[in-house]
Amino acid sequence: MADDETASPSKRSLRGLDAVNLLMADVRDGVGPYLAVFLAGSAHWSPGAIGLAMGASAIAAAVSQVPAGMLVDSVRAKRLLIAVAGLLVGVGCLLIVVRPIFLAVIGAQAMVGIAASVVPPAIAALSLGLVGRHLLDRRISRNEGFNHAGNLIAAVLAGSIGQMFGYAWIFYLVCGFAIASAFAAWMIDPKEIDHERARGEEAGGRPLPLRELMQRRDLRVFLTSVVLFHFGNAAMLPMAGQVLAKSYPNASAVTLSACIIAAQCVMIGVAWGVGQACARGIGRRPIFLVALAVLPVRGLLFTFFSNPFSVVAIQLLDGVAAGIFGVISVLIAADLMRGTGRFNLAQGLTALCTGIGAALSNAVSGYIVQWFGYPAGFLFLAGSATCALLFFALLMPETREGFGTARPVPLPARA
């Protein structure tokens, strides 16, 4: 196994990884908040049903995240996993737009969630396998920069296409990105991927048993924090989209795209900034606390302001929170899994907790909105985000090596 210092992937492989992050940005989440606008504006679904549809993908992803992480840990065909997952997401989007009835949409969303669960751990594994732990901070920051740039490009195209041709064409756009991402994965040279390093395993060790892994308190606190982060965050933009669809139906698609564009612009800068901060020795914990502190403010602002210009401005805060989370969550997981051989399983666990939080956020807030109205829904999310901030601040230690709290787990030698 190559040392981190000797890892020297080719420019073609690194550009292929850049392209995968760029193109997969809009694929791995399906149509995201555009689904809520499509179902509310074109299919005339109730808020509760929309919440269930939005949650179906997250629930399916949650169930499959741990198996997906273990699958990525165990196989070498990581490029194939990414290509197949992208194509399945495209098929699911086609099914939604062709048959926008409850069972078909729920089934398609479930397929999208299962397929998309493979993508984050596979990309993280390719990154670690190509560049090594020594350069992982900057590589993950670069990944997130291209990911947000991809979301930005997709949002511009989706807003334009949705306004000119209708919401259905947004789904076709995602299918195009899915096909392109499958080709991009093949730019990465499989010979340059160190598969032991890609799963965080040190030479001469074996993967830590799952039972022992889950006994670690720092991992449990981190995963709980991820659930709480997304429980307080995931439903905010879809709810804002529903408000726009009802109050400003002629401008909802353009405004929602403007929200995503504004947030993604901020995320690109934030992802770069987090990489620079980590490179200069700043710990993971204070950076994540900034992301958590932003969420309650965003929820309160959505409670009182709902016109298109205000919604776009408020989404800038989402750029800060999501931009930080996308980088720092991978780095914390890498810190916690140092030497365990379970790096990709940790990515699956993180994504599982993301899915649980997002599913609960959409489902619970959907019914709160249906019973009490949108302001109550946003206040509920703001309160949940405040709980997440307090939980992490009080219980989560610093994980970065050299801060005295995170240490490698000793592994028994192979027989």
Average pLDDT over every residue of 216-245: 86
Give the count of domains, the chain: 1
Average pLDDT over every residue of 279-286: 86
Residue 415, in any domain of the structure: no
How many Cα atoms are found within 13 Å in the side-chain-facing hemisphere of 37? 29
- Cβ neighbours around 286 below 10 Å, total: 12
pLDDT at 235 over 70: yes
* Environment class of 11 (CB within 10 Å of its CB; exposed 0-12, middle 13-18, buried 19+): exposed
**DSSP state letter for 283:** -
Per-residue model confidence (pLDDT) at position 258: 76
Instruction: Residue 341: give its domain's CATH number.
Output: 1.20.1250.20
CA distance 300 to 379: 6
CA distance 291 to 5: 32
**Domain limits for position 162:** 11-395
Residue 402, in any domain of the structure: no
Residue 400, in any domain of the structure: no
Residue 207, in any domain of the structure: yes
Q: How far is CA 389 from CA 289, 294, 383, in A?
A: 7, 9, 10
pLDDT at 72 over 50: yes
pLDDT band at 228 (very low <50, low <70, confident <90, very high): very high
Cβ atoms of 254 and 159 within 8 Å: the answer is: yes
Tell the residue number behind the tokens 């929200």, with chain if given: 259
> 74-88 pLDDT, tens per residue?
788 888 888 888 888
Residue 413, in any domain of the structure: no
Residue 411, in any domain of the structure: no
Cα torsion 361, 365, 367, 370 to 10°: value is -150
Average pLDDT, the chain: 81
Residue 4, in any domain of the structure: no
Q: How far is CA 188 from CA 9, 21, 180, 358, in A?
A: 9, 12, 14, 32
Q: Looking at per-residue confidence, does 294 or 66 come out higher?
A: 294
> 118-130 pLDDT, tens per residue?
888 888 888 888 8
pLDDT at 276 over 90: no
